[in-house]
Amino acid sequence: MKCDKVKKILLLDYMDSEGSVEMREKVEKHLEVCESCRKAYLALRKKVKTPFRGAAQVAPPDFVWDKIRNNIYGQTETEGVNVFLEKLKELLVFRKPVLALVSILLLVVIGVKGVQLHDYNLNKEFVSQQMEYVMVSYGQEDIGDSEGFGSSIEEYFF
């Protein structure tokens, strides 16, 4: 075997104990006679195989394989629509009732503040009309030329 082919096999199959028995025997014979390939094998074993020597093999759950299979073979158009509808339903369902309650309370508070602001503007207009009536009653016909009474309440509303 040539060194390039042996190094390629080392990377792809030999380190994972894959490939035929015949191929493995050829690689081992080559490693006995070739110093360069033996050094490459030892370096690969040190960096690739040794760190995982005591690691346990963990199998992923079945749904992971199902998802991979569906992505490889593709989904039919109706399956794609069903997946979209399922994801939309997940978005619309509140998983945490506390979050839903806080959201509703926040909307109520914003609504109440909006009504209060509207009421404040109506009260301001009413007070302005009352002030105009008082000014006219005291003989000051044109409220625009008047400096008012000079009270702090007047400054607050105007």
Every domain of the chain and the residues it spans: 3-52, 95-158
- In tens, the pLDDT along 59-87 reads 888 888 888 888 777 765 556 677 778 88
How far apart (Å, rounded) are the C-alpha atoms in residues 3 and 40? Answer: 10
Please tell me whether the overall predicted TM-score, pTM, comes out greater than 0.85 for this model. no
- Whether 103 has a pLDDT exceeding 70, the answer reads yes
Which of 24-28, 106-110, 113-117, 153-157 is modeled with the greatest confidence?
24-28
Structure-block tokens of residue 3 = 């060194």
- Whether 33 has a pLDDT exceeding 90, the answer reads yes
